[in-house]
Copies of this chain bind each other. A is one copy, B any other.
Amino acid sequence: MSMTSSLPPLTNRQRLVAHARALFAERGFEGVSVDEIAAAAGLTKGAVYYQFKDKTDLFRAACEAVLADVRDRVETASMGHSAHHLDEIVIGGDRLYDAYDAPDARRLLLVDGLTVLGVDGWIALQEPVGVGLIAHALSHLADERLIEPDVVPALAHLLFGAFVQGALRIAASSDPQAAGVEVRRATRTLTQALLSGAGAPLKETQWLPLP
Contacts and interface: CB of A to CB of B under 8 A. Distances in A.
Interface of A: 28-30, 87, 90-91, 94, 111-112, 114-116, 119-120, 122-123, 147-148, 151, 153-155, 157-166, 168-169, 171-172, 179-190, 192-196, 198-199, 202, 207-208, 210-211
User: Which of A90, A157, A202 gathers most chain B CB within 10 Å?
Assistant: A157
B171 A165 contact: no
Contacts of A189: 147-148, 151, 155, 194, 199, 202
A115 B168 CA distance: 12
User: Which of A30, A120, A157, A190 gathers most chain B CB within 10 Å?
Assistant: A190
Nearest to A81: B208
A115 B119 contact: no
A188 B207 contact: yes
Contact of A111 (B90, B114, B184): B114
Contacts of A182: 151, 153-154
A158 to B, nearest CB: 4
For the complex of A and B, 6 pairs with smallest distance between CB atoms = A161-B165, A196-B198, A193-B193, A154-B186, A158-B162, A115-B115
A59 B70 CA distance: 33
A165 B160 contact: yes
Contacts of A123: 168-169, 172
Nearest to A171: B119
User: Which of A154, A180, A182 gathers most chain B CB within 10 Å?
Assistant: A154
A121 to B, nearest CB: 10
Contacts of A172: 119-120, 123
A100 to B, nearest CB: 12
Given A90-B208, A91-B208, 14 more contacts: A90-B207, A111-B114, A151-B186, A154-B169, A157-B183, A157-B186, A158-B183, A161-B162, A161-B166, A161-B168, A164-B164, A184-B210, A185-B210, A190-B193
Nearest to A87: B207
